[in-house]
Amino acid sequence: MNLFVTGGCGFIGANFVRYVLQREPACRVCNLDKLTYAGNPANLAGIEKNAPGRYRFVHGDIGDARLVSALFAEQSFDAVINFAAESHVDRSIADPAPFIVTNVLGTQALLSAAHAAGIPRFVHISTDEVYGSLGPEDPAFTENAPLAPNSPYSASKAGADLLVRAFHETYGMNTVITRCSNNYGPYQFPEKLIPFMLRRAGRDESLPVYGDGGNIRDWIHVEDHCLGVYLALTKGRSGAIYNFGGHAERTNMEVVDTLLNMLGKSRRLIRFVTDRPGHDRRYAMDYALAEKELAYAPQWDFSQGLAATAAWYAQNTAWLDGVESGAYRDFMQAWYGDGLKD
């Protein structure tokens, strides 16, 4: 199996590259990544040694039609798996433009090139955020829930999803869309809640929490997400959409309190800050369709997964030091302001 993976140096993409190379001994992966702030080659350190001759990295943009078409002409691929995306909601609020360029226009360029090359399958990685927000008593999102994105990020992902659907309906492309809940685990960029709080609590720095901390997310360990993507790749129906979740709804405050208890830190580190504009209150994923058609079931218990994640970050401080660039610190200070002051 020869796979063309985009965004494979990002958090989820890198975990998937590791997962599929380990699970499929004959699999070969070509990874195209633009290496923006969240794309880190260190996420795949040692991969060439562990899978000799089976991994190739190409530095480039999915929106570069000439480059992508040339890569498709060089080698025959069994599938494209599109992880490439601008994904941080706060950054999309500060500047929506890069999200439209990469998530919408980039996906269109990748779809067009894959269609022209006759790639047998196109798997597009999306998010639960395209569905919008749930009320406290609402049932979890199913794949038939209407799209109601509330941030520039989620709107750009919804646009990409609709393009994938259109290429299936118009051109007969063999496509699958996956939508998952909030990921956590190794190699996650420290702007995201769990590594962000772990890092700052470990240094006894203030922990900015949006609003009242009552926003609810359904957490999925990144390895469970990789399992879902693999099953969608190998078993999914053409044209299908599959939700993946971790059966682990928690408020942000519950997550932060758990991390503080785990690290033996005081709640006095918490600083409540002005809520994010358009902040969705609750996400929850119904993954019954994936259970039925793909035999998907999450393997990680949230408590165990969170402990394993905390241990990984504690053992990989050099990796964290490497990704916390000046540009990263400047953005976080500008965004959270006084919430980062001790």
pLDDT of 247 strictly over 80: yes
User: What local confidence, expressed as pLDDT, does residue 339 receive?
Assistant: 53
pTM over 0.85: yes
* pLDDT per position as a tens digit, 67-105: 999 999 999 999 999 999 998 888 899 999 999 999 999
Query: Contact 176/121 with Cβ under 8 angstroms?
Result: yes
Helix ranges, the chain (H): 11-23, 47-50, 65-74, 89-94, 97-99, 107-117, 152-171, 193-202, 222-235, 252-263, 288-294, 302-315, 317-323, 326-336
Q: Write the CB contacts of 167 (distance below 8 Å, at least 6 apart in sequence).
A: 111, 115, 122, 173, 175
More confident residue, 191 or 68: 68
187 counts as catalytic? no
Averaged pLDDT for residues 240-266: 96
242 counts as catalytic? no
CA–CA gap between residue 55 and residue 251 (Å, rounded): 39
User: What local confidence, expressed as pLDDT, does residue 59 receive?
Assistant: 97
- Which range (63-72, 190-199, 304-313) has the least confidence? 190-199
Indicate the length of the chain as a whole number: 342
Query: Contact 230/23 with Cβ under 8 angstroms?
Result: yes
Q: Which is catalytic among the residues 33, 61, 86, 128? A: 128
Domains detected in the chain? 2-185+221-247+281-300 (3.40.50.720)
Separation in Å, CA 53 to CA 13, 45, 56, 58: 19, 15, 8, 14
When pLDDT is cut at 50, 70 and 90, the band that residue 338 belongs to is low
Averaged pLDDT for residues 44-52: 90
* pLDDT per position as a tens digit, 144-158: 999 999 999 999 999
User: What local confidence, expressed as pLDDT, does residue 335 receive?
Assistant: 47
Query: Contact 6/36 with Cβ under 8 angstroms?
Result: no
When pLDDT is cut at 50, 70 and 90, the band that residue 189 belongs to is confident
Give me the chain's average pLDDT, please. 93
Q: Which is catalytic among the residues 55, 131, 153, 313? A: 153
313 counts as catalytic? no
When pLDDT is cut at 50, 70 and 90, the band that residue 325 belongs to is low
Q: Which is catalytic among the residues 33, 61, 129, 223? A: 129
More confident residue, 56 or 89: 56
DSSP label of 215: -
User: What local confidence, expressed as pLDDT, does residue 341 receive?
Assistant: 46
Count Cα neighbours of 151 within 13 Å in the Cβ-side half-sphere. 25
